[in-house]
Amino acid sequence: MPRKRSQPKNSPPEKSFETKPRHARKRGDGPPHLLIQRSNIDTDGCYTTRLIRKGELVAEYTGPRLTIKQADVLYDHSPRTYLFGLTDGQHVIDGEGVAAFINHSCDPNCEADEVNGRVLINAIRDIHAGEEITYDYNLYDGDPEDPSLCYCGAKNCRGSMYSEAELTRRTKAAKRKEAGKIKRNRRAT
């Protein structure tokens, strides 16, 4: 699952670090029929120049593997990340290449599956030449105040890149927090 990183804080970073420039992320191995270009969803996106059939492997999410702690230190003050959380809950892939530019959609044409530690992006329907490649990020963590708004424009857009389960969990947590405030206010009066 993609891993949502916190939005940058107003305080300066404790450590100086360099993130990869955008052009460096675009390099790397990838199928020749996939291109990175401007997207209506978010900045840059990944597009196909040929028909991709349902069930076909579209790309692999590649890059260095980091522990979550390493990623937190590296990207704590970065507004944009390309991290994909692995199912072990301890590691992420710091995305490089075309798959890092596949945007979220609530009505995706692909899905990401982790198979033996590899993250494979597969088509869940036929994708025509010129279409943007997308999958549902189903985010599951991040700053509680960050709504991770979705701009996919799908008819079934849920308004957030968080998974439905995470949105439900956040709604319940917000209600508990509000109930606690009301309870404290009653005691204070």
Q: Could you read off the pLDDT of 124-165 as tens digits, one per residue?
A: 999 999 999 999 999 887 777 788 899 999 999 999 999 898
Q: What's the chain's average pLDDT? A: 83
Q: What are phi and psi of 164, to 5 degrees?
A: -60, -40
Give yes or no for a contact between 85 and 61, defined as CB atoms under 8 angstroms apart: no
Residue 79 — very low, low, confident or very high, per pLDDT cuts 50/70/90?
Answer: confident
Average pLDDT of the residues in 166-171: 89
Q: Residue 23 has what pLDDT?
A: 47
Q: Which domains does the chain have, with CATH numbers?
A: 22-137 (2.170.270.10)
Higher pLDDT, 189 or 175: 175
Strand order in the sheet with 103-104: 57-61, 118-123, 110-115, 134-135, 103-104
Instruction: List, in order, residues 6 or more apart from 8 with CB less than 8 Å away.
Output: 76, 77, 78, 79
